[in-house]
A and B are shown apart, each in its own frame.
Chain A
Amino acid sequence: GQNIDQPTEMTATEGAIVQINCTYQTSGFNGLFWYQQHAGEAPTFLSYNVLDGLEEKGRFSSFLSRSKGYSYLLLKELQMKDSASYLCAGMDSNYQLIWGAGTKLIIKP
């Protein structure tokens, strides 16, 4: 079957670094997406990885290991506005996204 696993909730301190992990199992693999979703709002795109390695985009970086079925999202210099849910999604062989339940990130001052 297809499955995406990520922690339900994480807490971090403003200014710190946090890593949100995601493991995936999809029928075929066409890449791994990360989205950010603030409470009551729509998901918005953060990153896409299809090759192994780290993709850096400002304060946010995303890593992929295809052999391990593993990805992480790294958030640096945390700000209060980063409090949100972070959704991991794997794209299967039919180009459909399989979504994790999301990780709620709580930032404390």
Chain B
Amino acid sequence: IAGITQAPTSQILAAGRRMTLRCTQDMRHNAMYWYRQDLGLGLRLIHYSNTAGTTGKGEVPDGYSVSRANTDDFPLTLASAVPSQTSVYFCASSDSGQVSDTQYFGPGTRLTVL
């Protein structure tokens, strides 16, 4: 593994189902992020974690939850998917989450909720 991996690459999901998007990084970065990207809108932060064991809410956290049990993994869970959660989801990481910290992105998960 080199960088950030996400799984699955794409998924079609029935409304009401539970879904976990996986994210793993091997750069030993402290900070990790989940974004969603929708056509015509900028990336929007869902949740973030500045270090293992801590998480925080971003701009659009409703309907999503995260955990950060260790440095490498940062899964995003949709407890009961709704069609408005159809989007491309990007996981990112940065060294410390502080000033000038470059965020590195995973390849994304394209999720369709029907």
Contact = CB atoms under 8 A, between A and B. Distances in A.
Contacts, number: 48
Nearest to B40: A101
Contacts of B58: 96
A7 interface: no
B51 to A, nearest CB: 13
Interface string B77-103: 000000000000010000001111111
A4 B42 contact: yes
A50 B40 contact: no
Nearest to A6: B42
B41 A101 contact: yes
Interface magnitude class on chain B:
20 to 34
B99 A30 contact: yes
Interface string A91-102: 100011111111
B99 A50 contact: yes
Interface magnitude class on chain A:
20 to 34
A96 B100 contact: no
Contacts of A33: 102
Nearest to B35: A99
Given A96-B48, A96-B58, A97-B103, A43 B98 contact: no
Best-surrounded residue of A4, A41, A99 (most CB of chain B within 10 A): A99
Given A42-B108, A96-B48, 13 more contacts: A33-B102, A42-B90, A42-B106, A44-B105, A45-B102, A48-B102, A87-B42, A89-B43, A91-B99, A95-B99, A96-B58, A99-B44, A102-B42
Interface of B: 40-45, 48, 58, 90, 97-108
Top 3 nearest A-B pairs (CB, nearest first) are A99-B42, A42-B105, A99-B43
